[in-house]
Structure 1
């Protein structure tokens, strides 16, 4: 028999928001239910404010990093997405390790792991030849004023020279500028390069944008690309940059990561939820700007529970290789298909036969505080109202 890890005692005793943790067992799985971090928006470090669909709050990895690692410990996310776990690990003085099969994730994460200042960004932007741009995608005029699109094209050319995709350590200022530009490409407010579009964590198709323009009777206005990059930079850095360090990001499948055996203290991650989110379709505009062929990125869409379970087993086998004995996995999953599929049960199956002690499922239960009506989702009625996190310990 295994001993009871201190983490479970901590969950049972948690009363951070005044309520005791509720414990239940269902299907042989222990559940620990409480509000373990605030439901309020924008309570984490501002450097996290990079939009990406289906990302979790920084408080999630913070909760586990604080309890399960020491300073200089190594924290890994094999599905890093926008980089919430690596960036939070760096902010907390840990070694940040991240991986994703989509190279876009590295472009969104790496700049925030390297020290930078707003002054460096302004100096770099002053070297861009803004007259160099020519419109190569006239269809994108559905999103942009012609003058804005020419400036975006000029910035793409400058980035290809200053921070090429195949450079593993590009100029930090250029790398940062690309990251910010990727997050200003389209959105619903004057803070974005586009006219009025969908929220900034996905790009609609050209045809859909044309319908939005026609419905609203709008044409894209001129945007000051330089000013918007500087404004977003100031917002991201208003509490300072993350400290640099011996951080490492890789690109590839989550079951084959170039990190040495038994070198990781904690894994905090959230895998794709079956075929719920189509990342390539959501990020087509970002991939165009960055020079990434979105169709060549082999992001898995698992249409069956068996396929998802098999993927999870491969990932957890790799995590077993990377984790030191006593290290932990926090594997965040969701309620999908209107709660008919509880992915934690599939994780429980996938971990059988691997050198892990399954500890239980931590359920961070809270009400929505941010509208999801743009997706046709009523708050508290559909979607994922809770974080459901499978907890494992390497034995």
Structure 2
């Protein structure tokens, strides 16, 4: 299927988000606003409205894996359903927790997932091939000596001694299975869930109360938290926490989705590469890329994930050196310019790239306006800028930082097209 740019413009201009009862009316959502954006010598249509967020809680439970700086599943779903058909190839060069690859697989599209951080594959691959709950439970309780290994580093500020021994024993088992090339999808599922449950702020995590589960504080910071809260790490049942999260992730997967996952998973390609150089992907093969690149120096991915790296036998320092973090906008543009050249090579004629960026540095930098010339210089044409907005009735504050000071959640997506 080739969705023409004129079709896309008509669709966006006349789009109305269905209300919760599924009926599309003029009062069901705000009318889409349209204007023209002028960047250098380029004139691009801009559409501002609510395209997916009102029904945000209807995403698959499989998507509920905590990871910092990730977009909602409804974002890739919007573009996948609009611009592709089953068996088209969907790609994400900065896959993170795997939102785009998983959403593509649930919709019966073929998947290519890339992220230079190896944790991305660990968090994504297992969810494309979810084992049966009974198999996961049987495996967890069949692992021998799951309380026999002590930690080689001091993690007592996070975990009860018995919890830590179980975690270390599970870690040793998984790493041994991987070294012997015996790590099957049941083992990978257990590793994925355990990685996601390492630290958090509720009894559903292995750790004592700590900061939100999409990052790990330093041991020194955790000691301070424990002192300020007068807390000591309680015992957590590692097996049962993994099984509880498993039940939640597997809840509500439809038969069609199971069929799609079963069909797509064997052919899925997982890469751990620099997004500027992915020779494993053939020329002119990708129908749609949906991605969100690292935003300047806002998120320190390696520092956030040091505990997850430990559990998975990864060198957090080495991973951090491979991940590009730039403070200057010109440096960021230089990296993204090369990324777009690679995306142009692999995108098929008639294919699209949906490139999600945000307002960074308190809105003083609108990356969409910097991205447009980069895509055009690579050979793409700019189809549209889509700004998705959702107004909240209340704001959220984490660690004293108001993350929605205007009460509005905004995604900015630049949609590029490769001509025939």
Q: Give TM class, smaller chain.
A: over 0.9
- Cα distance 1:4–1:104, how it changes in 2: closer, same or farther (>3 A)? closer
Matched, 1:249 2:265: no
Q: How does 1:316-327 map to 2 (within 5 A)?
A: 316-327=340-351
Q: Which runs of 5+ in 2 are unaligned?
A: 18-27
Q: Is the 8 A contact 1:163 1:174 kept in 2?
A: no
Q: Deviations over 1:183-217 (max 9, x none)?
A: 10000000000010111000011111111111110
* CA distance in structure 2 between the aligned counterparts of 1:254 and 1:293, rounded to whole angstroms: 20
C-alpha displacement at 1:279, in angstroms?
Answer: 0.2
Matched, 1:283 2:305: yes
Which has the higher mean CA deviation after the structures are superposed, 59-68 or 382-391? 382-391
- Residue number in structure 2 paired with 1:351: 375
Q: How does 1:333-344 map to 2 (within 5 A)?
A: 333-344=357-368
Matched, 1:206 2:228: no
Q: Give TM-score scaled by structure 1 length.
A: 0.95
- Cα distance 1:200–1:41, how it changes in 2: closer, same or farther (>3 A)? farther
C-alpha displacement at 1:38, in angstroms?
Answer: 2.3
Q: How does 1:162-173 map to 2 (within 5 A)?
A: 162-164=177-179, 170-173=183-186
- Residue number in structure 2 paired with 1:23: 34
What secondary structure is seen at the aligned counterpart in 1 of 2:57?
coil
- Residue number in structure 2 paired with 1:367: 391
Q: Is the 8 A contact 2:391 2:408 kept in 1?
A: no
RMSD: 1.8
Q: How does 1:101-250 map to 2 (within 5 A)?
A: 101-128=116-143, 129-138=145-154, 140-164=155-179, 170-240=183-253, 243-244=261-262, 245=264, 246-250=267-271
C-alpha displacement at 1:312, in angstroms?
Answer: 1.2
C-alpha displacement at 1:314, in angstroms?
Answer: 0.7
Q: Which runs of 5+ in 1 are unaligned?
A: none
What secondary structure is seen at the aligned counterpart in 1 of 2:114?
strand
- Residue number in structure 2 paired with 1:267: 289
* CA distance in structure 1 between the aligned counterparts of 2:187 and 2:193, rounded to whole angstroms: 10
Q: Is the 8 A contact 1:368 1:379 kept in 2?
A: no
* CA distance in structure 1 between the aligned counterparts of 2:6 and 2:301, rounded to whole angstroms: 36
Which has the higher mean CA deviation after the structures are superposed, 155-164 or 91-100? 155-164
Q: Is the 8 A contact 2:149 2:169 kept in 1?
A: yes
* CA distance in structure 2 between the aligned counterparts of 1:295 and 1:106, rounded to whole angstroms: 18
What secondary structure is seen at the aligned counterpart in 1 of 2:398?
helix
C-alpha displacement at 1:7, in angstroms?
Answer: 1.3
Q: Give TM-score scaled by structure 2 length.
A: 0.89
Which has the higher mean CA deviation after the structures are superposed, 360-369 or 52-61? 360-369
Q: Is the 8 A contact 2:94 2:293 kept in 1?
A: yes
Q: Is the 8 A contact 1:101 1:253 kept in 2?
A: yes
Which has the higher mean CA deviation after the structures are superposed, 235-244 or 52-61? 235-244
How many residue pairs get matched? 390
C-alpha displacement at 1:352, in angstroms?
Answer: 3.1
Q: Deviations over 1:338-376 (max 9, x none)?
A: 111010111112123322111121000112478541143
- Residue number in structure 2 paired with 1:59: 74
